[in-house]
């Protein structure tokens, strides 16, 4: 599908959701939703750069004058208005909006507050609402190309972790391993990467950025890492032992491994997110370790590492084909070690897709 057709399809979906919520205009500032809509990443700055989508009519862009040609080329949007450094772009934005007084305007939910204040000051007689109601449901259902990118990112992330395990040696620090791993995860110049590396008792922290702790023989090693493909993230956690695993580690690992498998089975059985969370949590609780499973079972994944849908106890929204999310139960024993097993999952009409990440055979290195 051509870039123009992709944008046209996305525009139709956005307008459909706008009509559903009786929204006349959508104002999108740089960030992830801007990337989702217009197909390229732009970072917020003090210079106003805004995309405008209205239920009726073609999309518009309001950008610094020196950016007009670049933005036109990147987006293909013909109505791209430039503002001079000495002019008032917020006044121009007000003039560009054709929605009637009293109508709703949806605002990018992660817009800088200072930008929102200036917009609200210039545009009177309108009701401003968050554009979450538009973007969250749309972004949570991935199309075929998005699913392909996610699965590839997931697989490559897992492969990079496994390769890094092969480079472990006594005395290497968490930070040094983190550097090695990030190099493996940055397989494209425009891609991104993140990694948590935790040794020994540090693995008992669900999130720990890593430090100068040196690896010892028989230490637990927990690595949570991911890279992107076309800006879509993989997010994989593998827990293993550098040396020989203790009986206690094997016990905890087996519990978490089974909880992970049961979570995926619950997704296949069309359980609600809250029920998927309950399945993993109840299994771990029944084994006597419920108090040590301290976070939700999973989170959505896509252009952001954490996005909708969240696999958490109060989410009653049914999962639908195209939803992409993690299943990542864990047990964290303070002062001892922690185990988390995290897979990326895409729900399909008949079950799930997930990458083939080595697991159980990696208990001992």
For the cut 80, the answer to whether the pLDDT of residue 89 exceeds it is: yes
With a CB cutoff of 8 Å and minimum separation 6, the contacts of 89 are 47, 48, 62, 83
pLDDT attached to residue 124:
81
Cis peptide before 309 (omega within 30 of 0): yes
Mean pLDDT, residues 326-346 taken together: 97
pLDDT attached to residue 57:
87
**Other beta carbons less than 10 A from residue 330's beta carbon:** 28
For the cut 80, the answer to whether the pLDDT of residue 2 exceeds it is: no
Q: What is the mean pLDDT of the chain?
A: 93
pLDDT attached to residue 99:
59
> How far, in Å, CA of 197 to CA of 31, rounded?
28
pLDDT attached to residue 281:
98
Q: Which domains does the chain have, with CATH numbers?
A: 3-139 (3.40.350.10), 141-362 (3.90.230.10)
pLDDT interval class at 140 (50, 70, 90):
very high
pLDDT attached to residue 183:
92
> How far, in Å, CA of 176 to CA of 195, rounded?
12
pLDDT tens-digit map of 8-33: 889 999 999 999 999 999 999 999 99
pLDDT interval class at 96 (50, 70, 90):
confident
pLDDT attached to residue 6:
80
User: Is 356 buried (19+), middle (13-18) or exposed (0-12) by CB count in 10 A?
Assistant: exposed
CA 171 to chain centroid, in Å, comes to 33
Percent residues over pLDDT 90 in the chain: 84
Mean pLDDT, residues 53-66 taken together: 94
> How far, in Å, CA of 107 to CA of 102, rounded?
15
Question: Do 354 and 328 meet the contact criterion of CB atoms below 8 Å apart?
Answer: no
pLDDT tens-digit map of 225-270: 999 999 999 999 999 999 999 999 999 999 999 999 999 999 999 9
């Amino acid at each position: 599908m051509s870039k123009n057709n992709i944008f046209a399809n996305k525009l139709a979906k956005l307008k459909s959701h706008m009509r559903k919520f009786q929204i006349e205009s959508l104002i999108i500032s740089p960030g992830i939703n801007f990337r989702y809509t217009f197909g390229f990443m732009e970072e917020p700055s003090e210079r106003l750069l805004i995309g405008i989508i209205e239920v009726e009519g073609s999309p518009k862009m309001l950008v610094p004058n020196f950016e007009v040609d670049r933005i036109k080329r990147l987006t293909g949007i013909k109505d791209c208005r430039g503002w001079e450094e000495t002019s008032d772009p917020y006044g121009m934005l007000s003039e560009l909006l054709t929605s009637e007084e009293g109508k709703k305007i949806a605002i990018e939910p992660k817009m800088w507050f200072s930008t929102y204040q200036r917009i609200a000051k210039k545009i009177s007689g309108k009701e401003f609402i968050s554009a979450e109601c538009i973007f969250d449901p749309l972004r949570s259902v991935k199309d075929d190309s998005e699913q392909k990118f996610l699965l590839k990112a997931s697989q490559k992330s897992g492969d990079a972790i496994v390769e890094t395990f092969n480079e472990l040696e006594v005395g290497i620090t968490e930070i040094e391993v983190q550097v090695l791993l990030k190099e493996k995860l940055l397989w494209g110049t425009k891609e991104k990467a993140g990694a948590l590396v935790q040794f020994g008792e540090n693995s008992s922290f669900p999130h720990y950025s890593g430090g100068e702790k040196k690896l010892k023989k028989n230490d637990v090693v927990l690595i949570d890492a991911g890279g992107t493909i076309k800006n879509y993230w993989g997010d994989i956690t593998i827990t293993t032992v550098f040396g020989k695993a203790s009986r206690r580690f094997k016990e905890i690992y087996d519990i978490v491994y089974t909880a992970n498998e049961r979570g995926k089975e619950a997704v296949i059985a069309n359980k609600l997110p809250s029920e998927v969370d309950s399945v993993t949590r109840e299994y771990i609780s029944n084994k006597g370790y419920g108090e040590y499973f301290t976070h939700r079972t999973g989170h959505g994944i896509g252009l952001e590492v954490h996005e909708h849908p969240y696999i958490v106890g109060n989410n009653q929204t049914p999962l639908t084909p195209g939803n992409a999310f993690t299943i990542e139960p864990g047990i964290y024993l303070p002062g001892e070690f922690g185990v988390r097993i995290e897979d990326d999952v895409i729900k399909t009409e008949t079950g799930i897709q997930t990458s083939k990440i080595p697991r159980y055979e990696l208990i001992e290195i």
